[in-house]
Amino acid sequence: MEWKKLLSEKRIGKEARSGGKKDLRSEFEKDYHRIILSSSFRRLQDKTQVFPLDKSDFIRTRLTHSLEVSSIGRSLAGNIAASLIEMNADPGFGPKEAAAITDILQCAGLIHDIGNPPFGHFGEESIREWFQNNLESLQYKGHPVTGLLTRQQLEDLKHFEGNAQGLRMVGKLDYPVRLSGMNLTCGLMSAMIKYPVSSVEADSASQDSGKRKPGYFQAEEQLFRMIASETGCGKKRNPLALILEAADDIAYATADIEDAFKKGFFDYPALLEELQLRRFPKSCIVRLSDNYDLARLNSVSDPDEFAVRCWIREMQELLILGATENFTGNYQSIMDGSFKKELLCGRTPHLIVSVLKSIAYDYAFTSASIFRTEIAAFKMLTELMNMIVPAALIYDSGIRPGLMEEKYLSLIPGNYKQVFLRNTAGMTDEQKVYHRILLATDTISGMTDSHARDLYAELNGI
């Protein structure tokens, strides 16, 4: 892979005419503005990161998490770029390329979770489980739906993935009047494709970290191939996708600890003890206790919180340095696509991330309060899927909807229907079945937590 192609400024869709006036922004700056102004980005403010429907203004949402990933991604890209230039690692990488990758990572961080449904990763799991439990019983004009879908289409639904939905969102669903979603640059869209494989190629047990989940649905396979061809990635992982993944891991591994601490799932002494028991790097434990001592010395009102929050920033800085070293140290294998690991590999970065994730999981993710919220979220999403999927199956089919089906169809946004009609023009009725089901998942994935909750309550007379 070469940077000249990886940093492609090409847009697949047609652009509106500028009226003869010259726009001095770079193409990646235009991407940034399109994302910031999009409705799908704004909806992230009311989507769960970890703690669903939390009323605290401190706890992170998908929006604040995405802003943090964007910031860390830009910093990490800047670090890597400076190191590559200093090392003279690549004659094709200079200041122009350095500026481009920082801009791309800033944008990619904003949209990396844009396809996630309400209620966080549990929402994804709920949608997958609905399909695994109900696909066999779905009928269309007297025929089992499973007999009308290809293997890949079945796997797309049974392994519904927010990353694949994200590509669908930016490539088709948002700004439908452009006919190509947000119509972002190929360089940016390639960077956001974390897994350059389809649902039939994905393997959760793969040693290759880029093949563990599907990165696109069959509906977007042509879009994926166009991006892969334009950037020269093919089925290999874009090096910038590795940087984005590392930024995401750094953001949520550290933020989950901070949020869980703030919500009272553990206190400073418990955190210190857990780090010692799990053989966290000793130098990092010392940093935490030093922060606490500094707070006590300066009569800080809450030394526990001061110590934890300062320490979180220090761990982020250590991880950024570790990811930078791993990228530059494995530069050739990353650029030829043979690097199969994550950037946060190596003893210290991997240990920091894995221990932080395990503490957050043991203390917060398996708590009774989270379980109660997830039970409620599962019930809401299951009920909405029960309503919307059968109704969507008869949309534009010639079948007259019944009284309730007509009302359920009204819940599907008009712009999603517009995208469906445009993308299925010329297809047979049977070929449209898969796209009708995606119309339902588009609708539910696009909902915010509050909208899903309020709609469920309203439809059930609560």
**pLDDT tens digits, residue range 366-419?**
888 788 888 988 999 999 999 999 999 999 988 888 888 888 999 999 989 999
Distance CA 426, CA 422 (A): 9
163 CB contacts (<8 Å, ≥6 apart)? Answer: 115, 193, 194, 195, 213, 214, 215
Distance CA 406, CA 80 (A): 54
Indicate the average pLDDT of the chain. Answer: 91
Distance CA 216, CA 194 (A): 10
Confidence of residue 151 (pLDDT cuts 50, 70, 90): very high
Q: What is the pLDDT of residues 217-253, one digit of tens each?
A: 999 999 999 999 999 999 999 999 999 999 999 999 9
Confidence of residue 22 (pLDDT cuts 50, 70, 90): confident
The predicted structure's pLDDT at residue 178: 62
Examine the pLDDT at 43 and tell me if it is beyond 70: yes
Query: What mean pLDDT do residues 256-266 have?
Result: 89
The radius of gyration computed from the CA coordinates of the chain, to the nearest angstrom, equals 23
CA 417 vs CA 414, 421, 428, 452: distances in Å: 5, 6, 17, 19
Residues in the chain: 462
Lowest mean pLDDT segment, chosen from 50-59, 134-143, 160-169, 299-308: 50-59
- 259 vs 110 pLDDT, higher one: 110
Would you state the structure tokens that stand for residue 53, as one six-digit string?
């429907």
φ, ψ (nearest 5 deg) of residue 140: -135, 115
Angle, alpha carbons 447-449-450 (nearest 5°): 100
- 22 vs 216 pLDDT, higher one: 216
Q: Which residue from 247, 78, 112 is spatially nearest to 189, judged by alpha carbons?
A: 112
Distance CA 124, CA 122 (A): 5
Query: What mean pLDDT do residues 253-265 have?
Result: 89
Would you state the structure tokens that stand for residue 250, as one six-digit string?
């750094």
Angle in degrees, 0-180, between the axes of helices 347-360 and 268-277, rounded to the nearest 10? 130
Q: 228 and 235 in contact (C-beta within 8 Å)?
A: yes
Examine the pLDDT at 350 and tell me if it is beyond 90: yes
% of the chain beyond a pLDDT of 90: 77
Q: What is the DSSP letter of 198?
A: -
CA 434 vs CA 136, 420, 428: distances in Å: 14, 11, 11
The predicted structure's pLDDT at residue 58: 58
Would you state the structure tokens that stand for residue 249, as one six-digit string?
């891991």
Annotate 56-74 with DSSP letters as a single string: -SSS-BHHHHHHHHHHHHH
Query: What mean pLDDT do residues 94-108 have?
Result: 97
Q: What is the pLDDT of residues 434-445, one digit of tens each?
A: 999 999 999 999
Strand partners for 11: 185
pTM score of the predicted model:
0.92
Annotate 175-194 with DSSP letters as a single string: SGGGSBTB--BHHHHHHH-S
Label residue 326 exposed, middle or buried (CB < 10 Å: 0-12, 13-18, 19+).
buried
Query: What mean pLDDT do residues 336-355 have?
Result: 93
Query: What mean pLDDT do residues 198-203 have?
Result: 95
- Give the number of C-alpha atoms closer than 13 A to the C-alpha of residue 351, restricted to the C-beta side: 14
Q: What is the DSSP letter of 362?
A: I
Longest alpha-carbon distance in the chain: 75
